[in-house]
Amino acid sequence: MAALSGPIPATPKPIKFGTDGWRGIIAADFTFERVAQVAAVSAHVLHKCFGPSTGSRTIAVGYDRRFLSSEFARTAAAAIANQGFDVLLSQDYAPTPAFSFAAKHRQLLGAIVITASHNPPAYSGLKIKGAFGGSVSPEVTQQVEALLPTPPTPIGARGTVSDFDPWPEYCNALRAEVDIAAIQAAVASGKLTVFADVMYGSASGGLPRLLGADTVHELHPQADPLFGGNPPEPLPKYLGEMLDTVKSYQTPQDGLKVGLVFDGDSDRIAAVDGQGQFLSSQILIPVLIDHLKARRGFSGEVVKTISGSNLIPAVAKLHGLELYQTPVGYKYIADRMQEATVLLGGEESGGIGYGHHIPERDALMSALYVLEAVVTSGMDLSDYYQTLQEKTGYFSEYDRIDIPLASMDVQAKLLKQLATAPPTEVVGKAVKDCLAIDGYKLTLADDSWLLIRFSGTEPVLRLYSEGKTLDDVHQHLHWAKDWASQF
């Protein structure tokens, strides 16, 4: 575990919830004592928020495959039980959406999941899921933060801790939503070959459970707390083996190839087309909207974060679907799913969820729908995407980069500059609109855009852009990088 070691700060960082959960460096910020503290307080807040509607006093506790995750989960379970609540403690790792599903399906107060999602190996984290089956709102996590200095007293005698297996009921629910037999038949006949890079994470074994052990070629299914030396994040720079594997694989004549990529806790997805090209959710979301509406007959609102591609509203318009836009962070999409009838909610970082399932991003659910879309259309994913570009008349390229900042002080300076004197021009293009619901999204004169925002958990500047050409996009991103380097 040498790669997890290093200088440990004398003072841990304050416990703060970011876009989805509290995360920190193991042994520095994320300790057993602090996990017990946060879990205990979270139980009381879940009881306050969802006790009246559920009548429950039970909370599920789950975990991913990170270093010490199962031990942290047992600590959280004991702390919750000590507060008078009953606990369902997962017998093994499982996807985060499986615990969200359990919370809703079993009518629990909610779930606590030990996971740092896609963060580097040195991190762990804790996510809070509500009784409705999704991430709790910022207002709920703010209540948790506010109560940490003076925790409530237990609601009664010590509760029970019981083991449970979240996989069977979760997998049954996914199978019920998709034509599993059609996918299995396509694989058996050689018309489809499926690859899955689970990145050593919680999706490991998921597709084989859903489709059969011999239907999927899994990469990196084994546990590795160092994740092969990279963060378990579905980005091209970490997927060289997957891209090469799909590209070089020889299928039977006219056979299609699909690669699916999962992050560390299986709530985010990316894909690989038959030529071994990486496909982000910016490409998958339009494909899924079209498939679910045109081939499956689903309807409802399309919800996207501000970092989502403009092809998403174009495809929604093509099908007569309403569009709703939110800040970055799936919890905002989950909130909307509880207020309106939603077909699909998606974010550019790979989180996609469905209103008829749970208000939660679910990578295995998305993977099944992607496979179903390929089987029913008979098209490679990139070809499918190209047909949507042609139908809407909207062609674009997209990219994003993350820039580490020297400190949170530098981040504060950048935020102040954006708030008081936002850019009026980017690479010679006038800024015609600035949307500030999350960071600053600058729409330029040629309808391309640049989004400047910050990580909720670490000093990192996140830059996103969409334009007519990849050269345009990279010019925008390099301009933003140079602009930020002045501070």
**Dihedrals phi, psi of 427, to nearest 5 degrees:** 40, 50
Q: Is the pLDDT of residue 185 over 90?
A: yes
| CATH number of the structural domain 397-484 | 3.30.310.50
Kindly list the domain boundaries of the chain, sorted by start residue.
2-165, 177-392, 397-484
pLDDT in tens, 191-234: 999 999 999 999 999 999 999 989 999 999 999 999 999 999 99
Structure tokens at 315: 């495809």
Average pLDDT (135-141) is: 91
Q: Is the pLDDT of residue 5 over 50?
A: no
Report the pLDDT value the prediction gives residue 457, as an integer from 0 to 100.
60
Can you tell me whether residue 29 is helix, strand or coil? coil
Can you tell me whether residue 128 is helix, strand or coil? strand
Average pLDDT (181-192) is: 97
pLDDT in tens, 356-379: 999 999 999 999 999 999 999 999
Lowest mean pLDDT among 64-68, 70-74, 399-403, 477-481: 399-403
**Which helix (H) or strand (E) segment is 111 a member of?**
strand 110-114
Look up the CATH architecture of domain 2-165: 3-Layer(aba) Sandwich (3.40)
Report the pLDDT value the prediction gives residue 362, as an integer from 0 to 100.
98
Query: 99, 360 in Cβ contact below 8 A?
Result: no
Look up tokens 């050593």; give the residue: 200
Q: Is pLDDT larger for residue 7 or for residue 322?
A: 322
Whether 2-165 and 397-484 share one fold: the answer is no
pLDDT in tens, 399-442: 999 999 988 889 999 999 999 999 999 999 999 999 999 999 99
Nearest to 316 by CA among 306, 328, 304: 304
| Separation of alpha carbons 481 and 478, rounded Å | 5
pLDDT in tens, 69-122: 999 999 999 999 999 999 999 999 999 999 999 999 999 999 999 999 999 999
Q: Is the pLDDT of residue 144 over 50?
A: yes
Q: Is pLDDT larger for residue 138 or for residue 210?
A: 210
Cα distances from 329 to residues 118, 157, 334, 399, in angstroms, run 14, 37, 9, 18
Share above pLDDT 70 across residues of the chain, in percent, rounded to a whole number: 98
pLDDT in tens, 10-61: 588 999 998 789 999 999 999 999 999 999 999 999 999 999 999 999 999 9
Look up tokens 């010019």; give the residue: 475
List of long-range contacts for 432-435, beta carbons under 8 Å, 24+ apart = 435/306
Structure confidence at residue 328 as a pLDDT band (50, 70, 90): confident
Residues in the chain: 487
- Matching CATH number, 177-392, of 3.10.150.10, 2.40.10.220, 3.40.120.10, 3.40.50.150: 3.40.120.10
DSSP string, 431-466: EEEEE-SSSEEEEETTS-EEEEEE-SSSSEEEEEEE
Query: 362, 353 in Cβ contact below 8 A?
Result: yes
Structure confidence at residue 252 as a pLDDT band (50, 70, 90): confident
pTM beyond 0.85: the answer is: yes
Cα angle, residue 92 at apex, residues 86 and 93 outer, rounded to 5° = 105
| Separation of alpha carbons 213 and 220, rounded Å | 15
> 34 CB contacts (<8 Å, ≥6 apart)?
12, 15, 24
Structure confidence at residue 330 as a pLDDT band (50, 70, 90): confident
Report the pLDDT value the prediction gives residue 177, as an integer from 0 to 100.
96
Structure confidence at residue 2 as a pLDDT band (50, 70, 90): very low
